[in-house]
A and B are shown apart, each in its own frame.
Chain A
Amino acid sequence: DAKTTQPPSMDCAEGRAANLPCNHSTISGNEYVYWYRQIHSQGPQYIIHGLKNNETNEMASLIITEDRKSSTLILPHATLRDTAVYYCIVSPSNFGNEKLTFGTGTRLTIIP
């Protein structure tokens, strides 16, 4: 599985867009980019995933570069409840054999 690199921590002002970068320069053609987050004392929560096109859902947007070597998770209007550790994961599309390998993630703190 490809490895990912994320900044250990970031701050963002409440109400602003939070942009969380992820580098996955060794990603292979069939690997998806997944984002999960983990709020304190809870289990990880799925946010979004994509292969090569940009994706948007009710929680966030995922922007994947054309060469697929990096991506950015965007929380458009951050709230205090978005304070969490955010994990960027790459995983093969063959769900029958996949396992999600978590790194240490980015600790995002939303500042009032």
Chain B
Amino acid sequence: EAGVVQSPRYKIIEKKQPVAFWCNPISGHNTLYWYLQNLGQGPELLIRYENEEAVDDSQLPKDRFSAERLKGVDSTLKIQPAELGDSAVYLCASRGTGPNTGELFFGEGSRLTVL
């Protein structure tokens, strides 16, 4: 079974440029998360989807960040315009239903460097 797939793995852009990250969760997983991880810190939740509905986006900086999960499967996280402080790893995770549903499956992340 394929895991959570994220792309690109690495992205270098200049400040004020836009950037987008893509995530394909594990097949059948209804819950999808985007996390932000700064260097030396633990991941911080940006947004959580249940199917196509964003049920928790309280930590998403909505002035420059947006996310979508149109068909309840894969998802895109966009930053426009990017700032120097956005340099971080953006992690996507998914969770299924049924027994042991507390386990989140993470992708390898997308590392963003803003110059």
Chain A interface residues toward B at CB < 8 A = 32, 34, 36, 41-46, 49, 87, 91, 95-96, 98-105
Given contacts A44-B93, A100-B45, A105-B42, 4 further A-B contacts (CB under 8 A): A44-B43, A44-B106, A46-B103, A46-B105
Query: Is B102 engaged at the interface, CB distance under 8 Å to the other chain?
Result: yes
Chain B interface residues toward A at CB < 8 A = 4, 33, 40-45, 48, 50, 56, 91, 93, 95, 101-109
Residues of B within 8 A of A32 (CB): 102
B91 engages A43 (CB within 8 Å): yes
A43 engages B4 (CB within 8 Å): yes
A42 engages B108 (CB within 8 Å): yes
A103 to B93 CA separation, bound complex (whole angstroms): 17
Residues of A within 8 A of B93 (CB): 43-44
A66 to B94 CA separation, bound complex (whole angstroms): 32
CB B39 to nearest CB in A, in angstroms, measures: 11
Which of B40, B48, B95, B106 has most A Cβ within 10 Å?
B106
Select which of A34, A99, A105 is within 8 A of B45 by beta carbon.
A99
Q: Please, which residue of chain B has its CB at the minimum distance from the CB of A89?
A: B42
A49 engages B102 (CB within 8 Å): yes
B44 engages A95 (CB within 8 Å): no
Residues of A within 8 A of B56 (CB): 99
Question: 27 pairs across A/B with beta carbons < 8 Å?
Answer: A42-B106, A42-B108, A43-B4, A43-B93, A43-B107, A43-B108, A44-B43, A44-B91, A44-B93, A44-B104, A45-B106, A46-B103, A46-B104, A49-B102, A91-B102, A95-B101, A95-B102, A96-B50, A98-B102, A99-B33, A99-B48, A100-B104, A102-B42, A102-B43, A102-B44, A104-B41, A105-B42
